[in-house]
Amino acid sequence: MSVLQNFIVFEGGDGSGTSTQLELLKRRFGKEDALSPPVIFTFEPTDGAVGRLLRAALRGEPRLHGETMTRLFSADRAEHLYGEGGIVEAAERGSLVICDRYTLSSRVYQGLECGDGLPAALNGGFPAPELLLFFDIDPRLALLRLETRTQKDVYESLDFQLRVRERYLGLLDSCRAEGSRVVVIDASAPIDAVAEAVWQNISLLPVMPRQRGSCIASSMKKAIN
Protein backbone atom coordinates (compact mmCIF):
# COMPACT_ATOMS: atom_id res chain seq x y z
CA MET A 1 0.00 0.00 0.00
CA SER A 2 1.39 3.40 -0.97
CA VAL A 3 1.07 6.58 1.10
CA LEU A 4 -0.71 9.50 -0.55
CA GLN A 5 1.02 12.73 0.43
CA ASN A 6 -1.17 15.75 1.25
CA PHE A 7 -4.01 13.44 2.32
CA ILE A 8 -5.40 13.64 5.87
CA VAL A 9 -8.10 11.44 7.37
CA PHE A 10 -10.24 11.98 10.49
CA GLU A 11 -11.43 8.77 12.16
CA GLY A 12 -13.48 7.99 15.26
CA GLY A 13 -16.64 6.38 16.55
CA ASP A 14 -20.07 7.94 16.28
CA GLY A 15 -20.26 11.14 18.33
CA SER A 16 -16.47 11.60 18.46
CA GLY A 17 -16.73 15.00 16.77
CA THR A 18 -14.97 14.41 13.45
CA SER A 19 -17.60 16.32 11.46
CA THR A 20 -17.55 19.24 13.92
CA GLN A 21 -13.77 19.46 13.74
CA LEU A 22 -13.84 19.34 9.95
CA GLU A 23 -16.14 22.37 9.93
CA LEU A 24 -13.98 24.26 12.44
CA LEU A 25 -10.89 23.51 10.40
CA LYS A 26 -12.61 24.75 7.26
CA ARG A 27 -13.29 28.10 8.99
CA ARG A 28 -9.72 28.32 10.23
CA PHE A 29 -8.22 27.75 6.81
CA GLY A 30 -10.59 30.41 5.48
CA LYS A 31 -8.91 32.93 7.79
CA GLU A 32 -5.33 31.91 7.05
CA ASP A 33 -2.99 33.82 4.74
CA ALA A 34 -2.31 33.13 1.08
CA LEU A 35 0.71 30.94 1.93
CA SER A 36 -1.57 28.05 2.85
CA PRO A 37 -2.05 25.43 0.12
CA PRO A 38 -5.42 24.93 -1.59
CA VAL A 39 -7.53 22.80 0.74
CA ILE A 40 -10.34 20.38 -0.12
CA PHE A 41 -12.69 19.11 2.60
CA THR A 42 -14.60 15.93 1.93
CA PHE A 43 -16.24 12.96 3.63
CA GLU A 44 -17.37 9.36 3.30
CA PRO A 45 -19.89 8.13 2.43
CA THR A 46 -19.77 10.74 -0.31
CA ASP A 47 -22.70 12.68 -1.73
CA GLY A 48 -22.44 10.71 -4.98
CA ALA A 49 -24.96 8.13 -6.14
CA VAL A 50 -23.44 5.21 -4.20
CA GLY A 51 -22.79 7.41 -1.17
CA ARG A 52 -26.41 8.52 -1.03
CA LEU A 53 -27.52 4.88 -1.05
CA LEU A 54 -25.13 4.17 1.81
CA ARG A 55 -26.43 7.10 3.85
CA ALA A 56 -29.95 5.79 3.47
CA ALA A 57 -28.79 2.30 4.47
CA LEU A 58 -27.08 3.73 7.57
CA ARG A 59 -30.50 5.01 8.61
CA GLY A 60 -31.95 1.55 7.96
CA GLU A 61 -33.78 2.65 4.79
CA PRO A 62 -33.22 -0.12 3.68
CA ARG A 63 -31.18 -2.19 6.13
CA LEU A 64 -28.52 -3.91 4.02
CA HIS A 65 -26.39 -6.98 4.72
CA GLY A 66 -22.91 -6.29 6.09
CA GLU A 67 -21.16 -7.66 2.99
CA THR A 68 -23.34 -5.52 0.75
CA MET A 69 -22.41 -2.44 2.79
CA THR A 70 -18.73 -3.36 2.56
CA ARG A 71 -18.85 -3.61 -1.23
CA LEU A 72 -20.80 -0.37 -1.55
CA PHE A 73 -18.34 1.52 0.66
CA SER A 74 -15.48 0.22 -1.48
CA ALA A 75 -17.19 1.29 -4.71
CA ASP A 76 -17.98 4.74 -3.30
CA ARG A 77 -14.37 5.08 -2.11
CA ALA A 78 -12.88 4.05 -5.46
CA GLU A 79 -14.83 6.78 -7.24
CA HIS A 80 -13.96 9.23 -4.48
CA LEU A 81 -10.26 8.50 -4.96
CA TYR A 82 -9.91 8.00 -8.68
CA GLY A 83 -12.91 9.66 -10.30
CA GLU A 84 -12.57 12.94 -12.15
CA GLY A 85 -11.44 15.60 -9.69
CA GLY A 86 -11.01 12.93 -7.01
CA ILE A 87 -8.76 12.77 -3.97
CA VAL A 88 -5.70 11.36 -5.75
CA GLU A 89 -5.80 13.94 -8.52
CA ALA A 90 -6.18 16.82 -6.06
CA ALA A 91 -3.45 15.64 -3.66
CA GLU A 92 -0.97 15.00 -6.47
CA ARG A 93 -1.38 18.52 -7.83
CA GLY A 94 -0.50 19.94 -4.39
CA SER A 95 -3.86 20.47 -2.72
CA LEU A 96 -4.34 19.39 0.87
CA VAL A 97 -7.24 16.93 1.05
CA ILE A 98 -8.93 16.38 4.42
CA CYS A 99 -11.48 13.58 4.62
CA ASP A 100 -13.94 12.63 7.37
CA ARG A 101 -13.66 8.79 7.44
CA TYR A 102 -11.85 6.44 5.07
CA THR A 103 -10.70 2.82 4.88
CA LEU A 104 -10.21 2.38 8.62
CA SER A 105 -13.93 3.00 9.15
CA SER A 106 -14.71 0.10 6.84
CA ARG A 107 -12.21 -2.15 8.58
CA VAL A 108 -13.82 -1.27 11.91
CA TYR A 109 -17.56 -1.08 11.23
CA GLN A 110 -17.92 -3.58 8.41
CA GLY A 111 -15.26 -5.76 10.00
CA LEU A 112 -17.49 -6.08 13.05
CA GLU A 113 -20.45 -6.98 10.86
CA CYS A 114 -18.98 -9.47 8.43
CA GLY A 115 -15.45 -10.28 9.59
CA ASP A 116 -12.01 -9.02 8.62
CA GLY A 117 -11.58 -10.76 5.28
CA LEU A 118 -13.81 -8.83 2.88
CA PRO A 119 -13.10 -5.29 4.21
CA ALA A 120 -9.35 -6.01 4.14
CA ALA A 121 -9.48 -7.43 0.62
CA LEU A 122 -11.56 -4.58 -0.83
CA ASN A 123 -9.63 -1.78 0.85
CA GLY A 124 -6.09 -3.14 0.86
CA GLY A 125 -5.14 -1.55 -2.44
CA PHE A 126 -6.25 1.98 -1.63
CA PRO A 127 -3.54 4.51 -0.71
CA ALA A 128 -2.89 5.23 2.95
CA PRO A 129 -3.23 8.83 4.19
CA GLU A 130 -0.13 10.81 5.09
CA LEU A 131 -1.74 11.74 8.42
CA LEU A 132 -4.50 9.92 10.31
CA LEU A 133 -6.09 11.64 13.30
CA PHE A 134 -8.06 9.29 15.55
CA PHE A 135 -10.58 11.06 17.79
CA ASP A 136 -10.72 8.90 20.91
CA ILE A 137 -13.61 9.21 23.35
CA ASP A 138 -15.55 7.01 25.76
CA PRO A 139 -18.57 5.80 23.74
CA ARG A 140 -20.85 6.58 26.68
CA LEU A 141 -19.97 10.26 26.43
CA ALA A 142 -20.06 10.18 22.63
CA LEU A 143 -23.59 8.79 22.55
CA LEU A 144 -24.77 11.47 24.99
CA ARG A 145 -23.77 14.00 22.34
CA LEU A 146 -26.09 12.30 19.86
CA GLU A 147 -29.19 12.25 22.04
CA THR A 148 -30.67 15.34 20.39
CA ARG A 149 -30.54 13.78 16.92
CA THR A 150 -33.95 13.03 15.51
CA GLN A 151 -32.55 10.39 13.13
CA LYS A 152 -30.30 7.63 14.51
CA ASP A 153 -27.87 5.52 12.51
CA VAL A 154 -28.04 1.75 12.76
CA TYR A 155 -24.64 1.66 14.51
CA GLU A 156 -25.52 4.07 17.34
CA SER A 157 -25.89 1.63 20.23
CA LEU A 158 -23.60 1.51 23.26
CA ASP A 159 -22.69 -2.16 22.88
CA PHE A 160 -21.69 -1.70 19.25
CA GLN A 161 -19.80 1.54 19.88
CA LEU A 162 -17.80 -0.04 22.70
CA ARG A 163 -16.65 -2.67 20.23
CA VAL A 164 -15.99 0.02 17.63
CA ARG A 165 -13.60 1.88 19.95
CA GLU A 166 -11.82 -1.33 20.93
CA ARG A 167 -11.38 -2.27 17.29
CA TYR A 168 -10.14 1.17 16.28
CA LEU A 169 -7.48 1.10 18.98
CA GLY A 170 -6.46 -2.40 17.93
CA LEU A 171 -5.96 -1.40 14.29
CA LEU A 172 -3.96 1.82 14.71
CA ASP A 173 -0.62 0.01 14.69
CA SER A 174 -1.46 -1.56 11.33
CA CYS A 175 -2.09 1.96 9.98
CA ARG A 176 1.32 3.03 11.23
CA ALA A 177 2.83 -0.03 9.54
CA GLU A 178 1.24 1.09 6.26
CA GLY A 179 3.16 4.37 6.51
CA SER A 180 0.61 6.79 7.95
CA ARG A 181 1.52 9.11 10.78
CA VAL A 182 -1.14 8.26 13.36
CA VAL A 183 -2.08 10.70 16.12
CA VAL A 184 -4.60 9.90 18.87
CA ILE A 185 -6.53 12.99 19.98
CA ASP A 186 -8.52 13.20 23.20
CA ALA A 187 -11.96 13.98 21.75
CA SER A 188 -13.47 14.36 25.23
CA ALA A 189 -11.53 17.62 25.69
CA PRO A 190 -13.23 20.99 25.07
CA ILE A 191 -13.97 21.59 21.39
CA ASP A 192 -11.46 24.45 21.12
CA ALA A 193 -8.70 22.34 22.64
CA VAL A 194 -9.42 19.51 20.20
CA ALA A 195 -9.40 22.00 17.31
CA GLU A 196 -5.99 23.32 18.42
CA ALA A 197 -4.56 19.79 18.60
CA VAL A 198 -5.84 19.15 15.08
CA TRP A 199 -4.30 22.37 13.81
CA GLN A 200 -0.92 21.71 15.44
CA ASN A 201 -0.61 18.34 13.74
CA ILE A 202 -1.70 19.59 10.33
CA SER A 203 0.65 22.57 10.57
CA LEU A 204 3.62 20.21 10.73
CA LEU A 205 2.93 18.68 7.31
CA PRO A 206 5.51 19.46 4.58
CA VAL A 207 2.83 21.04 2.37
CA MET A 208 2.15 23.71 5.00
CA PRO A 209 4.20 26.95 5.11
CA ARG A 210 7.57 26.23 6.70
CA GLN A 211 7.62 29.16 9.05
CA ARG A 212 4.28 28.22 10.55
CA GLY A 213 5.28 24.59 11.05
CA SER A 214 8.61 25.68 12.55
CA CYS A 215 6.94 28.02 15.01
CA ILE A 216 4.56 25.34 16.20
CA ALA A 217 7.30 22.73 16.43
CA SER A 218 9.36 25.17 18.50
CA SER A 219 6.48 25.95 20.86
CA MET A 220 5.69 22.24 21.24
CA LYS A 221 9.37 21.55 22.09
CA LYS A 222 9.34 24.28 24.73
CA ALA A 223 6.15 22.87 26.23
CA ILE A 224 7.72 19.42 26.45
CA ASN A 225 10.91 20.76 28.04
- CATH assignment at residue 7: 3.40.50.300
pLDDT at res. 73? 98
Dump the DSSP string for 102-156.
-HHHIIIIIHHHH-SHHHHHHHTTSPEEEEEEEEE--HHHHHHHTTT-SS--TT-
Contact between 3 and 127 under an 8 Å Cβ cutoff? The reply is yes
Residues 40-93 have pLDDT tens digits of 999 999 999 999 999 999 999 888 999 999 999 999 999 999 999 999 999 999
CA–CA gap between residue 208 and residue 141 (Å, rounded): 34
Sign of CA dihedral 25, 30, 32, 36: positive
Q: pLDDT-based confidence at 211, cuts 50/70/90?
A: very low
How many domains does the chain divide into? 1
Residues 139-182 have pLDDT tens digits of 999 999 998 877 778 888 999 999 999 999 999 999 999 999 99
Residue 219 belongs to what domain range? Answer: 3-224
Q: For residue 200, what are the CA distances in angstroms to 92, 197, 219?
A: 23, 5, 10
